[in-house]
Structure 1
Amino acid sequence: MNEFYSQKKYSKRRGNWIYYDPVCKVCRINRQVDWQGGNREYYLTKMKYYNSNLSDKSISTIKESNKKRKAAGKEKDWQRKNPDKLKLYSSKKHKHEITKEEWEACLDYFEWSCAYCGFDYFVHLNNFGQQLHKDHVNHDGNNFIDNCAPACRECNSSKHDRDFIEWYNPLNKIFTLERLERIINWVKSDWMTSTE
């Protein structure tokens, strides 16, 4: 009976008893995997809500599971089978809608350096072969210049999708009050005068 899920039950008439699922574990898992594949958007929405309430231990367990899934090639298989959905998901990612002039004004305001740690733009370009990232100060905010700050590769990766104040605070080793005030001033109003 180990190949079936079981559950301990109690009723007044029967007392304690064990309920066995009529479908075996392997069939149940296959059915769930098929359902997730056919209802991916709904499943992802539910998982996003579920994941927003997880403990740190649960998050690390999920990350390990995702690494194993990636290593086994399951993610690549899904991407190969669903190129249209992959394109749709990629297009929904945060992309800034700013002009070249606005970006240069933003870089001028932050003295051509990372807004968070002060890493120089040209050193970053030389070391990593890429310009500073256009980071969303407020992750869930808009895609325009008033929510954009230049970020080096390390700060961009470290901040990821975390709330700005939660991430950039005195506990963060790169934090300075001067840079915090500069970022806040940029987001509040300085972007308007800098981009005129």
Structure 2
Amino acid sequence: MQSLLTPPGGGVTTAALPQRVVDATREVPPAGEAAFTARTENISREDVASDMGGLATRVRNLMDLQGNRPSCLPLGGNLFDVLITASGAAARAVVGLMDEVQIDGCGPVIEDPVRSWLYWLVPPGSSTRWAPHRYGICLGQPHRIGLPSLGQAEPPGAYWLRPFKSDRLVPPAPLRDLLDSFGPSPVPHEVLLAAELRAS
């Protein structure tokens, strides 16, 4: 067996690697049965981190979402924040341009035809960096959002205008620029958001 080595001065040289000689007639004893020792542990409620209950709730909600059931998830954390804009022709033009901005198309967007709003799922922490904007409101913790099932791709009710994929969210910077250019209206008002999003 040869190995390629690159000496400090450059160039390539070859050198033989050492090999272990194995006796071909060697007998390998059979492995014994695997033995597992059962352990019982009693974990008190006080020993569980205070945020584990919230984690369990998130896991259950994500499982509901994967199982094509509607779900309600807390914003922020490690999941996502939400940017809320009006829907309509101007907003759909923004979605179309975001399809070109992002590889494989625009990140997840929910349309609520009853309220005429779009919900853009943006990276967690976006709400703390989002300066007040005329055409969009960005919310994170401690709010929650109701998500339609992953299979809901058309009305009635809220549906995925652009599908949800766990590895892709909408980048806020180009979205903000496009909202400035197209100005989708009427602008969602924070008082109306209380009907859809509630503090945890």
TM range (shorter): under 0.3
Higher relative contact order (CA 8 A, sep 6+): 2
Highest CA radius of gyration, 1 or 2? 2
- Normalised to the residue count of structure 1, the TM-score between the two structures is 0.25
- Normalised to the residue count of structure 2, the TM-score between the two structures is 0.25
The structure with the largest strand share of the pair is 2
The structure with the largest helix share of the pair is 1
